[in-house]
Structure 1
């Protein structure tokens, strides 16, 4: 169930990122129609809509934001900490996981 929520949020985030970048705009009349790299990635196998993205066990998604071509997913960890998951908005690839901890732990 948690994976379905994460995948759903990733799809929403990619859609928002595409709309913010103008990838969903209508082509001009008489202009040649060529698929954008983002559209090609969406149609390809393993695109964000079909990718499983692992998050730490017993964590939950708190927030998803688009930052250029990246998705920033804020996670609440089971021990009370916070983690930031960075994803490529075009491919859904995991770029990194930043775990925020207090000094002295």
Structure 2
């Protein structure tokens, strides 16, 4: 059984004319270049998608401070919050309010200067009163 003038594929180890490479080496090189090109394009697309995702998340902030309602009560107790009133001096104006954990801070503007009240939100008691007076 002889091949009539045909050379079997991939058995010809003679270099291509004008090149030191065989046809098999050129084919492998072409495949390697195509695969690496696809990997480069995929990598760039991944980087662009990551940048776009991060850019859309810039304005979104996760609240990492635990809410008052999230605190677990001792066993057997129900979560009940009572309403309370905070008394402020006559003519006082609330300039600013800030909540931090279970503390409420009120900045009051009064005729003599200002006051800062720190109030415990669990029982409504004034923990601290800081008077702000001009010199």
Per the normalisation by structure 2, the TM-score is 0.42
1:3-23 deviation per Cα after TM superposition (whole angstroms, max 9, x unaligned): xxxxxxxxxxxxxxxx94244
Aligned length in residues: 68
CA distance change for structure 1 residues 99 and 86 in 2, over 3 Å: closer, same or farther? Answer: same
Is it true that 1:36 corresponds to 2:73 in the alignment? yes
Equivalent position of 2:115 in the other structure: 83
Cα RMSD over matched residues?
2.5
Q: Of the two, which has the highest radius of gyration?
A: 2
Structure ranking higher on relative contact order (CA contacts 8 Å, 6+ apart): 1
Q: Cα distance, 1:86 vs. partner?
A: 0.8
CA distance change for structure 1 residues 36 and 55 in 2, over 3 Å: closer, same or farther? Answer: same
What CA distance in whole angstroms lies between the structure 1 residues aligned with 2:79 and 2:69?
13
Q: Which runs of 4+ in 1 moved over 3 A?
A: 22-25
Q: 1:74 aligns with which of 97, 107, 121?
A: 107
What CA distance in whole angstroms lies between the structure 2 residues aligned with 1:57 and 1:91?
23
- Which has more strand, going by share of residues? 1
Is it true that 1:97 corresponds to 2:129 in the alignment? yes
What CA distance in whole angstroms lies between the structure 2 residues aligned with 1:41 and 1:94?
20
